Amino acid sequence: MDVLVRLENVHFSYGRTEVLHGIDMDVPAGMITGLLGPSGHGKTTLVNLVVGALVATSGRIQVLGETAPPRKMKTSIGYMPQSDALYEDLTARQNLRFFGALYGMSRRDLDAAIPKVLDTVSLNVANDRRTVSAFSGGMKRRLSLAIAMVHSPRLLILDEPTVGLDPVHRVRLWQGFRELAKAGRTLLITTHVMDEAANCDDLVMLHEGRVIARGAPQEIVAASGKANLEEAFLDFEAREADHA
């Protein structure tokens, strides 16, 4: 199985405070890999290391065959951060054209791609009617996702992509994620929502900057001997605390 992202014994510190402690994990190609854990336990720091926004204190990170930060392969990566980075005086379509051009997309490619990604994130009605400043928080999140997807990246990295979305849009987006994986795209998604984590092909559980479990969701539940993913997380969390 091809691996698009590999972390080996990765540590990261903010000043004197270490927040990631020897992370080992792979992101297999053509699958949805989830990072599950409470807020403040290292998920965003980890994905920032993968995209090159941060540099590891020690350890090794490879992304699409390149040592991180992945400068040569940046156009093959789509990244949706937790905080929306949008031009609010532009429309959704204008934002997509701007960011698509940064990825080197031609006008013709953008004309073909933009309607598809707007439909995927359910913004096809609002795309040209008003500027982003008039969008709700959920609409801005969906536009940020469309921007990450517009250039059809091999690797899509999404940090809490469904925060602030209603249940209908959450379900639709996860259906879209599954379709992308079936089409051969690779997704790395952070979440703290258990039902979303259950939709992943592969799952890495993080607690206080350490991996406490990894595997397919059903395998993790079976290994814990518990009834569901939430109980499994609490069980592995308790085991980690006992070893500390």
Q: Where are the alpha helices (DSSP H) in 11-102?
A: 43-51, 92-102
Domains present along the chain, CATH in parentheses: 3-243 (3.40.50.300)
- CA dist 178 and 166 (Å) reads 19
- CA dist 230 and 160 (Å) reads 18
Q: Percent of the chain at pLDDT above 90?
A: 73
**What distances in angstroms separate CA 127 from CA 59, 143, 178, 181, one per listed residue?**
43, 9, 24, 26
pLDDT at position 188 is: 97
Q: Does residue 122 carry a pLDDT above 90?
A: no
Q: What is the per-residue pLDDT across 2-11, written as a single tens digit (0 to 9) for each?
A: 999 999 999 9
Global confidence as pTM: 0.92
* Residue carrying the six token digits 């990072």: 35
pLDDT band at 68 (very low <50, low <70, confident <90, very high): confident
pLDDT at position 114 is: 93
Q: What is the per-residue pLDDT across 126-162, written as a single tens digit (0 to 9) for each?
A: 666 789 999 988 889 999 999 999 999 999 999 999 8
CA-based end-to-end distance of the chain = 34
| Greatest C-alpha distance within the chain | 58
Task: Kindly compute the dihedral angle of the four CA atoms of residues 115, 116, 121, 125, in this order, to the nearest 10 degrees.
Answer: 30
Q: Does residue 86 carry a pLDDT above 80?
A: yes
Distance of CA 121 to the CA centre of its chain: 15
Q: Does residue 220 carry a pLDDT above 90?
A: yes
- CA dist 180 and 167 (Å) reads 20
